[in-house]
């Protein structure tokens, strides 16, 4: 049966697992059985993926230029295909955007996911008919593995909200173009449509603050059971809900809210404030989706590692982060990785990305099965003095002290101050928006500095050698980061505040918000 909605014909939900908790459990068990088949043989799955990718793309322009017909092994592949970022692939992407077929992947893409690049301006990431279903399957399986492990399925009978970009798409040479989250909105299964919020009319609002206000109006009286989105923007939604309801906790507004799904940033810096806003602890699932592919998700509530999706149309490579900028860095396949080593993540996909450096760094926390944590961005580091401090280190340093001191942090970022006032040593400058500030800032700062020294031996040496003075924390006004992002036109959606920068651009922009 079909119904008309927003000018589109859609199938009505027909009692699938999204509507009937009882039906979701056998469906979840079957999905987990399928996952386990490749999960327990991930290296072989990766070998097969590479072989299939090469075979299917050998007659493309890229495949011919890089001698795919001669590639028999991973060693051959490394000889012929360089590691490159978007800039390296751009000449090929430009041909695809211009409407040419069989360039990076057979035929033409179904979509371009439009993202903002730091050096490239707008980036167009292809999504193919082979890659698009993998995004949808991974999002679904993240929920199904949770149901199978916990036995909790009542949430599928309630309303689910996905804070995402506008589903309005433009067209470029016959190919639909939009933000990934907006594209995905067009592929929500029919059995979830009845449960899903916000409405299409609300979802297409471009102004993020207006959109969140409209979502609050649309959801405040609904039975919300699952909420998904990037943590800082979910927090904005929670703040507006609480304000609208006269200061109620989210658990009072949505009494059956039981599952939070997030991705895009590390949840830990936001956890304390979000849990305080909710008013109770609830289960959470971390996911690792990107325009380039759905890479991993948390498949167990018993550990924080994300299951690397080894059978999802992506062949992964790993470059030790400390070699990334070398002329000839080591490239490893899945079977060659080590635990607790920081790797730059390289993708080869069934949408035609080859040797593609996504810009993220990951670390393996398990090899049986292969599970990762995201440690930061390869370009987001501080090494103004040779210390090479990374995102994972600054997050763990401040969070360990914040938990100990019962301090709550809304948001923070770190930058080097290489030109201090006369007579001062250089230092790392931290810009922190507190939701509950330390009683003694000097003690708090000292403890954070000591925690960072323990995390990073180079930073320790610079402090000990009086090359750097201990870090300095600048306390920011309430909503400083929201106001800054708004001023930059980056409020909401998939936009994130970098944890640290090797320059002063973000720091200089935040100076006007110092208390």
How far apart CA 123 and CA 103 sit, in angstroms, is: 17
- Which element (helix H / strand E) includes 436? strand 427-436
DSSP code per residue over 199-253: -HHHHT--SHHHHHHHHHHHHTTS-EEEEES-HHHHHHHHHHHHHHTTS--HHHH
**Residue among 390, 349, 370, 230 at smallest CA distance from 296:** 370
Rg (C-alpha) for the chain, rounded Å, is 23
Q: What are phi and psi of 131, to 5 degrees?
A: -85, -35
Estimate to the nearest angstrom the gap between the alpha carbon of 243 and the chain centroid: 28
pLDDT score of 231: 85
How far apart CA 501 and CA 497 sit, in angstroms, is: 10
> What is 2-8+132-297's CATH topology?
Rossmann fold (3.40.50)
What are the distances in angstroms from CA 113 to CA 74, 248, 475? Answer: 29, 38, 37
- Joined together, the tokens standing for residue 29 give 């068990």
Please answer whether residues 136 and 187 qualify as being in contact, where contact means their C-beta atoms are separated by less than 8 angstroms.
Answer: yes
Say whether 381-513 and 2-8+132-297 share the same fold: no
How many other β-carbons are positioned within 10 Å of the β-carbon of residue 320?
18
Tell me which CATH code domain 381-513 carries: 3.30.300
Domain assignments of the chain as residue spans, ordered by start: 2-8+132-297, 381-513
How many residues does the structure list for the chain?
515
Q: What are phi and psi of 21, to 5 degrees?
A: -60, -35
Estimate to the nearest angstrom the gap between the alpha carbon of 485 and the chain centroid: 18
Task: Quickly list H helices, 67-152.
Answer: 74-80, 86-97, 132-150
Q: HEC profile for 270-281?
A: HHHHHHHHHCCC
How far apart CA 404 and CA 33 sit, in angstroms, is: 41
pLDDT score of 16: 39
Beta strand pairing call for 259-263 and 314-320: unpaired
pLDDT score of 492: 67
How far apart CA 67 and CA 355 sit, in angstroms, is: 14
pLDDT score of 378: 82
**Residue among 89, 187, 170, 191 at smallest CA distance from 131:** 187
In 298-424, where do the E strands start and end?
Answer: 306-308, 314-320, 342-349, 356-367, 370-377, 381-382, 389-390, 408-417
Please answer whether residues 415 and 503 qualify as being in contact, where contact means their C-beta atoms are separated by less than 8 angstroms.
Answer: yes
How far apart CA 494 and CA 162 sit, in angstroms, is: 12
pLDDT score of 493: 61
pLDDT score of 20: 62
pLDDT score of 119: 46
pLDDT score of 388: 79
Please answer whether residues 208 and 202 qualify as being in contact, where contact means their C-beta atoms are separated by less than 8 angstroms.
Answer: no
How far apart CA 151 and CA 25 sit, in angstroms, is: 7
Give me the tens of pLDDT residue by residue for the chain, a chain 515 residues long.
333 333 333 333 333 344 467 888 999 999 999 999 999 999 999 999 999 999 999 999 999 999 999 999 999 999 999 999 999 999 999 999 999 999 999 999 999 998 865 445 688 999 999 999 999 999 999 999 999 999 999 999 899 988 777 888 899 899 999 888 888 888 877 666 778 888 889 988 888 788 889 999 999 999 999 999 888 788 889 999 999 999 999 999 999 999 999 987 777 778 888 999 999 999 999 999 999 999 999 999 999 899 999 999 999 999 998 888 888 999 999 999 999 999 999 999 999 999 999 989 999 999 999 999 998 888 777 878 878 788 888 999 999 999 999 999 999 999 999 888 888 988 999 999 999 999 999 999 999 999 999 988 889 988 988 889 999 999 999 999 989 988 887 776 666 788 888 888 899 999 999 99
The helix, strand and coil proportions of the chain, stated in percent and rounded to the nearest 5, come to: 40, 25, 35
Please answer whether residues 461 and 385 qualify as being in contact, where contact means their C-beta atoms are separated by less than 8 angstroms.
Answer: no
- Joined together, the tokens standing for residue 192 give 């979830």
């Amino acid at each position: 049966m079909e119904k008309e909605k927003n000018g589109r014909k859609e199938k009505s939900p027909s009692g699938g697992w999204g509507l009937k908790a009882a039906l979701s459990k056998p469906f979840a068990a079957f999905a987990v059985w399928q996952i386990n088949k490749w999960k327990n043989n991930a290296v072989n799955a990766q070998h097969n993926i590479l072989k299939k990718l090469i075979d299917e793309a050998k007659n493309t322009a890229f495949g011919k230029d890089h001698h795919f017909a001669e590639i028999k092994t991973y060693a051959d592949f490394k000889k012929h295909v360089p590691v490159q970022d978007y800039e390296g692939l751009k000449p090929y992407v430009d041909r695809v955007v211009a409407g040419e077929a069989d360039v990076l992947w057979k035929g033409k893409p179904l979509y371009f996911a439009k993202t903002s690049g730091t050096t490239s301006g707008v980036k167009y990431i292809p999504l193919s008919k082979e890659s698009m279903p993998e995004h949808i399957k991974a999002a679904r399986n993240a929920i199904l593995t949770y149901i199978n492990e916990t036995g909790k399925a009542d949430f599928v009978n309630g309303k689910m909200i996905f804070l995402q970009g506008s589903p309005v798409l433009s067209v470029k040479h016959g190919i639909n173009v939009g933000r990934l989250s907006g594209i995905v909105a067009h592929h929500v299964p029919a059995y979830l449509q009845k449960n899903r919020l916000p409405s299409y009319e609300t979802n297409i609002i471009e102004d993020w603050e207006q959109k969140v206000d409209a979502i609050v109006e649309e959801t405040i009286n609904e039975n919300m059971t699952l909420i998904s989105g990037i943590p800082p923007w979910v927090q904005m939604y929670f703040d507006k809900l609480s304000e609208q309801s006269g200061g109620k906790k989210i658990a009072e507004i949505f009494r059956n809210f039981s599952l939070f799904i997030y991705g895009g940033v590390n949840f830990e810096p936001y956890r304390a404030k979000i849990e305080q806003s909710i008013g109770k602890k609830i289960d959470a699932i971390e996911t690792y989706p990107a325009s380039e592919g759905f890479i991993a998700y948390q498949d167990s509530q018993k550990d924080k590692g994300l299951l690397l999706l080894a059978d999802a149309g992506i062949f992964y490579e790993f470059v030790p982060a400390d070699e990334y900028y070398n002329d000839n860095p080591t490239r490893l396949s899945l079977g060659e990785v080590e635990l607790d080593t920081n790797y730059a993540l390289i993708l080869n996909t069934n949408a035609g990305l080859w040797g593609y450096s996504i810009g993220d760094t990951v670390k393996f926390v398990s090899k049986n099965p292969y599970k990762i944590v995201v440690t930061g961005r390869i370009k987001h580091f501080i090494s103004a003095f040779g210390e090479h401090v990374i995102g994972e280190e600054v997050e763990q340093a401040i969070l360990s002290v914040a938990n100990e001191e019962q301090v709550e942090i809304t948001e923070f970022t770190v930058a080097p101050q290489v030109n201090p006032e006369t007579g001062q040593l250089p230092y790392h400058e931290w810009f922190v928006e507190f939701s509950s500030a330390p009683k003694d800032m000097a003690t708090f700062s000292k403890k954070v500095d000591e925690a960072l020294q323990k995390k990073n031996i180079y930073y320790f040496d610079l402090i000990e050698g009086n090359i750097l003075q201990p870090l300095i924390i600048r306390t920011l006004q309430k909503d400083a980061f929201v106001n800054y992002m708004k001023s930059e036109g980056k409020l909401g959606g998939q936009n994130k505040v970098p944890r640290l920068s090797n320059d002063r651009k973000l720091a200089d922009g935040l100076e006007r918000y110092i208390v």
